[in-house]
Chain A
Amino acid sequence: MKKALLCSAITASFFAGTALAERGSDGQLNIIYWQAASILNPYLSGGTKDIEASSMVIEPLAHYDEKGTMVPNLVDEIPTVENGGVSEDLKSITWKLSEGLKWSDGSPVTAADVAFTADYCLHPEGGCQQASNFTDVESVEAIDDSTVKVNFSVAKPFPYGPFVGAQAPVIQKAQFENCMGAKAPECTDANFGPIGTGPFVVTEFKANDVVALEANPNFRDPAKPAFASVVFKGGGDAASAARSVLETGEFDYAWNLQVEPEILSKMAAAGKGTVVSSFGTSVERLMVNMTNPDPALGDKRATIEGGPHPFLTDPAVRTALSKAIDREILVEVGYGEAGQPTCNVLPAPAIYASTANDACLGQDIDAAKKLLDDAGWVPGSDGVREKDGVRLSILYQTSTNSVRQATQALVKQWWAEIGVETELRNIDASVFFGGDQSSPDTFQKFFADIEMYTNNFDGTDPENYMANWACKEIPSPQNQWLGDNMPRYCNAAYDALVAEMSTTAKLEDRAELAKKMNDMLMQEGAMIPLIHRGGVSAHANTLEGVRMNEWDSELWNVADWKRAK
């Protein structure tokens, strides 16, 4: 009897399940991003909010799933060297579009659209914000209606920059044909309502406020999306966005909830929603200035010509600074579910993550003190250590943000315990990260001893990211301070590894190289990694199918989202 009941229950739920699998059966989905979407063309806006809003409408050929694995989207399989999709010399990749793909206006998707997308972004006057996804692309040609070949000017061991991930979606040639180059910003209608292949189409767009969308009638899977319409609301602040999902239940999904962990867990206790997190490659780290930022040096300040740093070039000091930090407490205070302590600047994907540096995880004030004692740094009359007239006094800068300031305060206290004096400084993010040549406060100029921020890389391949710390990437007046090697780290052995990686194709070998580079940076103390940061979002308990993703748009699988019954 029990068995029969169970059976019928299963059958019932099965039928209920199939009956529900119908496009537009689940009503409206309300999404809140506390930064409002300004434009729906990711090629004209690098802002995450804009990229994610547009990812419901326009799609790349392949996505990254929540584990960072590539999954085919508009194609049937991912081209590789094994299946012949990537040429033996690694200089071209050939994508084959799936059969019967249609734009939301009913016209067929062809290889010409894909080729056009590349031309659109590569146009020299367009100011394309995703140009880095198309690095080294020589040409993109449509071989026939469904085959497109990307040619690179150099051998590309990882040829998945163009058309993979939400940053590089395919746009429709017919719509954007007259919007090339300098004309791109003038096509407001197209930029506000791109025609796409995604599960939803734009019905109304209010810039910097709200996007209204409805199910795409020509979406390739006739049973999806489950929601008939989407409202993508923006604006306000993270805390009230969290409240609208977790406490009042007005919204179904809230993005990027950078809220004090304590407040967030209190809100989640209301029982209306769930907090979800996911980890990509973001690491909050301390950059250690290897050059001398002394203002007395004038133009040579913080450059190689200005000479080495008076004390941060001493490995004992760098190790002691790292050992004095309790990363667990930093996570607890500032990050909660959105952070994990880390000792690597390259913490993910799993195959690239090194375990060689894990010793930094535990705080050890005594060991730090001993290191400094042994290196000859002895406490002066005011408790600050000094050697040969050089005091361990650090200017520690970061961007203005409550979590960062809390971290700064804690670190300052720990460093005081080991006899290091710290002066804190915070700079508005748009100035700190802005590239204003005339401002002395940018993170590239690094007119401080230590600076803290988060960086990460798009996609899953760390080649370009690890190349950031090559000698030629050091920012200086000669290259207009453009360059990503903030610590001014320069090591011929490291540069050799960078060069080797750019010609290595096999994944295992690449992973080995990346790990080696990470370990070199960590052990030489060019950076002090603190927190592996993840994204935190929240969804209503009535929303099913969310697979929080840091490698692609968080809304990458919005077609599969449905209402719990």
Chain B
Amino acid sequence: MLNYTIRRLLFAIPTLLVISFIIFAILDLAPSDPTGNLPLTIPPEVREKIRLSLGLGEPFPIRYLKWLQQFFINEPLNLIEQWFGVSIGDSENRLRVQSWATRSPVVDLIVERMPQTLWVVGMSYVVGILIAIPIGVISAYKQYSVFDQVGTFISMVGFSVPTFFTGLVMIVIFSSTLGWLPSIYDTTHKVTDLASFWFQVKQMIMPVMVLALFNASQLSRFMRASMLDNLSQDYVRTARAKGLKERAVLLIHVLRNSLIPVVTVIALGIPQIFGGAIITEQIFRVNGLGQLLIIGIQGADIPLVQTLTFIFAVLIVLFNLVADIVYGILDPRIRYE
């Protein structure tokens, strides 16, 4: 297993290098201009100077190599310095990946936004799982019952209605009409006592629920299908025949076996948490990574978009590996040699 992991990790390096080149090249070829959104009152000569000051005067290969150096050498060195409080080499003049719009290091922006995304999107994932598993189990156990039919209907609705619609509907109901919940996420809010914690809960309810509904619909279908597969297996009949209680048969034998493929699906979905829920974050103004990406794209902030998409690529490659390994651990029949 260890050998396998190491082999996969080594193999990931060329993959990621190729990905980084493709991302860089596509964004470079895309016809967008960082000065395109500036007011027209700024004259063309000034625009040209701005482009030069952003480093756009240099040819593509040099810019790519510079970015590689900044991302793979300078940024990790900077992280180490911050964590251990040491300084390595000429840290004052080391160039970091700079965002064009904010003129600040991209990695700092990402670090600042990571917690919100993890809290809101991560929470929605957890809530989604907590809703999906019981629904999937009951739906499968009582197949074609009223519960199953209703559950199927709701998950179809949840899966097919986009989040930008459910989000707006919730805002109109709970913020505009009833006035119970805030429609705009207060990102400066700090939890210090019970009252402020309650406020935090209130402002998180809508974005979390919108996303949780979406995630739960998908997962509950997987759970149901996997349960159905297992319920008809011989070992279930054996368990019942040896006199186990129905509860033990279902929750200990069937559920554990059915969870194996579901866990894989969950692990593969984790990179999406880091990617943030672009649309939902935008609607509720949660300052997460998804919103950062959208703002970067709109403002043609190329270094920001490059770095973010590349980090997502790394996470996807990584969690694919994690899913494979978890699969091996959960299911003794699967061995990687």
Contacts and interface: CB of A to CB of B under 8 A. Distances in A.
Contact of B41 (A209, A244, A429, A456): A456
Given A247-B176, A438-B31, A433 B103 contact: no
Interface stretch (B32-40, B124-132, B138-146): B32-40
B155 to A, nearest CB: 28
A209 B287 contact: yes
Contact of B39 (A48, A210, A430, A483): A48
B221 to A, nearest CB: 32
Nearest to A464: B43
B103 to A, nearest CB: 4
A139 interface: no
Interface in A410-449: 428-436, 438-439, 441, 444
B109 interface: yes
B109 to A, nearest CB: 6
B45 interface: yes
Interface stretch (A77-85, A99-107, A121-129, A194-202): A121-129
Contact of B175 (A126, A212, A231, A248): A248
A148 interface: no
Contacts of A132: 41-43, 46
B49 A240 contact: no
Contacts of B187: 206, 209-210, 233
A146 B163 CA distance: 58
Interface string B16-42: 000000000000000111011111111
A53 B198 CA distance: 30
B328 interface: no
A191 B44 CA distance: 24
Contacts of A457: 41
Nearest to B288: A209
A45 interface: yes
For chain A, the bracket of interface size reads: 35 or more
A327 interface: no
Given A48-B39, A131-B46, A235 B282 contact: yes
A240 B176 CA distance: 11
B102 interface: yes
Interface in B24-82: 31-33, 35-54
A191 B188 CA distance: 20
B278 to A, nearest CB: 12
Contact of B105 (A188, A212, A439): A188
Contact of B183 (A125, A237, A240): A240
B295 A433 contact: no
B183 A46 contact: no
B181 to A, nearest CB: 10
B121 to A, nearest CB: 16
Contact of A206 (B37, B282, B287): B287
B101 to A, nearest CB: 4
B184 A192 contact: no
A322 interface: no
Contact of A191 (B37, B49, B103, B285): B103
A46 B31 contact: no
A251 interface: yes
A458 B41 CA distance: 7
Contacts of B285: 233, 235-236
A44 B291 CA distance: 22
A240 B171 contact: yes
A456 B45 contact: no
Given A206-B112, A235-B287, A434-B32, A182 B53 contact: yes
Contacts of A23: none
Contacts of B299: 38, 47
Contact of A436 (B31, B48, B99, B101): B31
B98 interface: yes
A237 B184 CA distance: 12
B283 A243 contact: no
B295 A429 contact: no
Dominant secondary structure of chain A at its interface with chain B: loop
Contacts, number: 176
Contacts of A453: 40
A126 B40 contact: no
Interface in B158-197: 171, 175-176, 179, 182-184, 186-188
B31 A431 contact: yes
A430 B33 contact: yes
B109 A251 contact: no
B40 A456 contact: yes
A181 to B, nearest CB: 9
A210 B104 contact: no
Given A38-B299, A240-B283, A431 B36 contact: yes
A26 to B, nearest CB: 19
A434 B104 contact: no
Nearest to A34: B285
A479 to B, nearest CB: 9
A45 B38 CA distance: 8
Contacts of B188: 204, 206, 210, 212, 231
Interface string B81-124: 00000000000000000110111110011001100000000000
B37 A429 contact: yes
A208 B53 contact: no
B44 A435 contact: yes
A36 interface: yes
A409 interface: no
A379 interface: no
A207 B102 contact: yes
A251 B46 CA distance: 36
A182 B54 CA distance: 10
Contacts of B171: 240, 243
B50 to A, nearest CB: 5
Contacts of A209: 113, 187, 287, 291
Contacts of B47: 435
A297 to B, nearest CB: 22
Interface string A205-249: 011111010000000000000000001010111001001100110
B300 interface: yes
B292 interface: yes
A559 B98 CA distance: 34
A32 interface: yes
Contacts of A124: 49
B109 A430 contact: no
Contacts of A455: 40-41
Given A182-B53, A434-B32, A458-B41, A250 B48 contact: no
A306 interface: no
A482 B44 contact: yes
Nearest to B104: A188
Contacts of B50: 46, 127, 129
A127 B54 contact: yes
Nearest to B96: A186
A47 B37 contact: yes
Interface of B: 31-33, 35-54, 98-99, 101-105, 108-109, 112-113, 171, 175-176, 179, 182-184, 186-188, 282-283, 285, 287, 291-292, 295, 298-300
15 contacts: A41-B103, A125-B53, A129-B46, A188-B104, A192-B104, A206-B112, A207-B102, A208-B291, A208-B295, A235-B285, A236-B285, A431-B31, A433-B36, A435-B51, A484-B43
Q: Identify the 5 closest CB pairs spanning chains A and B, nearest first.
A: A127-B53, A434-B33, A434-B36, A482-B44, A185-B103
Interface of A: 32, 36, 38-39, 41, 44-48, 124-129, 131-132, 182, 184-185, 188, 191-192, 204, 206-210, 212, 231, 233, 235-237, 240, 243-244, 247-248, 250-251, 428-436, 438-439, 441, 444, 453-458, 482-484
Given A233-B285, A240-B171, A444-B44, 7 more contacts: A38-B99, A39-B103, A41-B103, A129-B42, A191-B102, A204-B188, A243-B176
